[in-house]
């Protein structure tokens, strides 16, 4: 059973006892013990996963980290957040996924226009099962709960991940005033409704719709 | 943010702080009415909130009373409605400040949002904005903000803003101007020794705000004033004239 420990907020230590985790390729910064690193083609999801990822453009460079010892992961000093899943599904951009436990399955799913507005493509990565995953964000992620009575609206550039039973809808607020140069700067927003958690980062990626 | 054994802290519409920081990098506005904010700094919100560009529209009256910087109009919007709104900027430190019948001048790129109790005016110092009145405003800085009292000389890049004191002046070290090399430097701007020969000098009573780095935040506007302002107005550039 792999044990995830955060060292500060930007380095993740994983204790391995003969088992394996999936990690973003190149994210290892140090290790001790006997550990091997093996590239997994197509996100380690088999031939079908490989083809799906090629077609959808949701590329995920993943390596399998296996052995006994402690491995330290970090990526460009971004903040690392641990997410414990108990059977639900986590939606996250492939570039924000750092490490997953072997008990978790990863896959791709269609997100529609939200992905397009983020410049991340029309597909996103899903993580399913029971276990821990580590996701990255620019600045510590803020976890916001969505309930049926309190829907949440998120800027596409600040969205990192979500879990639970949520419906998401990209809404455009482009109007006549946008066309005459009086845009609000918040012309594209994702509405989340239902029951679940949304992870946002205190920073905005530059997105296609960001300046409109 | 700390991660207790049970997982990360989960916020919802009721538990988000009211007009306070969620963590050092994000600020939660309890909106009931209007706030001015810089475009694109909203990251998420609960409730019913509309964003109105500054220009023609239903908020003409509010803008006429509180917003006096045509140059920055395209970079600002008014959030109107009711709910909790999160603000953040490139994962920089966010702090809120209260002004009570005060005045504060701040680098335009650092100011994120302010309450309509305050009035925004363009400072006569290019690139800076002045807030007057009573209310709360939110500013971002690269690293924590330090408050110091004049008399003090500060590095131009570390300056975030100042409150209640006279506007600063430039200060050059004497050696910078002296000798042959100094003359060349003065004439051409080439060379230089330590990079610390030039400072901003503050005097009088008040407070000066500094950030912990000398890395400037990219600014949307330089804060010049229209060419029609004419001679004698700092920042006004007539076509064809040299700065």
Could you read off the pLDDT of B166-199 as tens digits, one per residue? 888 888 776 665 666 656 665 665 555 556 667 8
Question: What residues of chain A, 46 to 75, have a C-beta less than 8 Å from chain B?
Answer: none
Between B178 and A9, where is the model more confident?
A: A9
What's phi and psi for B53, nearest 5 deg?
Answer: -65, 155
A88 touches chain B (CB under 8 A): no
Partner-chain residue, chosen from B11, B49, B88, that has the shortest CB–CB distance to A202: B88
A185 touches chain B (CB under 8 A): yes
Q: What is the CATH number of domain A3-200?
A: 3.60.160.10
| pLDDT confidence of residue B58 | 72
CA-CA distance, B133 to B153, in Å (whole number)? 27
The alpha carbon torsion through A148, B113, B68, B125 (nearest 10 deg) reads: -160
Test A182 with B53 for CB contact under 8 angstroms: yes
- Please give the full DSSP string across B24-74, using - where no structure is assigned: TTEEEEEEEEEEEEETT-EEEEEEEEEEEESSSSTTHHHHHHHEE-GGGGG
Q: Is the pLDDT of residue A203 over 80?
A: yes
Integer CA distances (angstroms), B24 to A13, B28, B43, B188, in order = 24, 11, 15, 43
Q: H helices of chain B, where? A: 60-66, 174-177, 179-188
Provide the residue ranges of all domains of chain A, joining segments of one domain with +.
Answer: 3-200
Test A138 with B91 for CB contact under 8 angstroms: yes
SS3 category, B217:
coil
Between B132 and A42, where is the model more confident?
A: B132
Q: Is the pLDDT of residue A185 over 50?
A: yes
Chain A residue numbers with beta carbons less than 8 Å from the beta carbon of B25 are 139-140, 202-203
Residue B231: exposure state from Cβ atoms within 10 A (0-12, 13-18, ≥19): exposed
The one-digit pLDDT tens for each residue of chain B (243 residues) are: 334 445 678 998 889 999 999 999 999 999 999 999 988 889 999 999 988 888 766 777 788 778 887 777 778 889 999 999 999 988 889 999 999 998 999 988 889 999 999 999 888 887 888 999 999 999 998 888 888 998 898 888 888 899 888 888 888 776 665 666 656 665 665 555 556 667 888 988 888 998 887 666 555 444 455 566 566 665 555 444 443
Q: Is the pLDDT of residue A134 over 60?
A: yes
Q: H helices of chain A, where? A: 46-56, 113-118, 176-179
A141 touches chain B (CB under 8 A): yes
Q: What is the ipTM of this complex?
A: 0.80
CA-CA distance, A29 to A12, in Å (whole number)? 10
Determine contact, residues A65/A16, Cβ cutoff 8 Å.
yes
Residue A24: exposure state from Cβ atoms within 10 A (0-12, 13-18, ≥19): buried
Partner-chain residue, chosen from A173, A186, A203, that has the shortest CB–CB distance to B90: A203
Test A142 with B91 for CB contact under 8 angstroms: no
Test A202 with B8 for CB contact under 8 angstroms: no
Mean pLDDT of chain B: 79
Partner-chain residue, chosen from A83, A154, A184, that has the shortest CB–CB distance to B44: A154
Test A144 with B10 for CB contact under 8 angstroms: yes
Give the minimum alpha-carbon distance from A179 to chain B in angstroms, rounded to a whole number: 12
Test A9 with B49 for CB contact under 8 angstroms: no
């Amino acid at each position: 059973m792999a044990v995830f420990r955060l060292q500060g907020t930007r380095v993740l230590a994983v204790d391995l006892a003969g088992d394996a985790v999936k990690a973003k390729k190149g994210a290892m910064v140090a290790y001790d013990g006997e550990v091997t690193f093996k590239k997994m083609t197509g996100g380690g999801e088999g031939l079908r996963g490989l083809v799906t990822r090629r077609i959808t453009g949701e590329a995920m460079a993943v390596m399998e980290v296996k052995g006994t010892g402690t491995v330290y992961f970090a990526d460009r000093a971004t903040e690392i957040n641990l997410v414990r899943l108990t059977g639900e599904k986590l939606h996250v951009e492939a570039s924000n996924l750092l490490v997953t436990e072997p008990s978790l399955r990863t896959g791709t799913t269609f997100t529609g226009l939200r992905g397009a507005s983020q410049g991340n493509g029309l597909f996103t990565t899903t993580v399913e099962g029971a276990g821990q995953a580590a996701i990255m964000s620019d600045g510590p992620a803020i976890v916001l709960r969505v309930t049926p009575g309190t829907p949440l609206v998120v800027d596409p550039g600040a969205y990192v991940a979500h879990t639970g039973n949520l419906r998401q809808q990209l809404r455009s607020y482009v109007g006549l005033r946008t066309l005459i140069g009086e845009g609000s700067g918040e012309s594209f927003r994702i509405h989340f409704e239902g029951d679940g958690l949304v992870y946002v980062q205190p920073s905005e990626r530059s997105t296609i719709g960001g300046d409109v | 943010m700390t991660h207790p054994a049970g997982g990360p802290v989960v916020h919802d519409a009721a538990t988000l702080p009211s007009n306070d920081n969620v963590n050092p990098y994000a600020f939660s506005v309890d909106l009931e009415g209007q706030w001015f904010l810089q475009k694109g700094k909203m990251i998420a919100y609960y409730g019913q909130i509309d964003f109105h560009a500054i220009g023609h529209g239903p908020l003409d009256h509010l803008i006429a009373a509180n917003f006096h910087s045509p140059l920055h109009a395209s970079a600002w919007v008014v959030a109107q409605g009711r709910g909790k709104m999160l603000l953040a900027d490139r994962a920089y430190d966010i702090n809120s400040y209260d002004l009570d019948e005060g005045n504060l001048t701040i680098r335009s790129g650092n100011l994120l949002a302010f309450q309509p109790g305050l009035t925004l005016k363009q400072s006569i110092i290019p690139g800076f904005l002045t807030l007057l009145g009573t209310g709360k405003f939110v500013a971002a800085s690269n690293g924590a903000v330090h408050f110091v009292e004049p008399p003090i000389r500060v590095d131009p890049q570390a300056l975030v803003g100042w409150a209640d004191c006279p506007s600063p002046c430039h200060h050059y070290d004497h050696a910078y101007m002296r000798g042959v090399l100094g003359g060349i430097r003065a004439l051409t701007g080439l060379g230089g020794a330590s990079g610390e020969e030039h400072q901003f000098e503050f005097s009088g009573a008040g407070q000066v705000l500094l950030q912990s780095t000398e890395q400037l935040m990219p600014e949307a506007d330089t804060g010049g004033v229209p060419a029609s302002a004419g001679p004698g107005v700092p920042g006004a550039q007539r076509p064809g004239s040299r700065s």
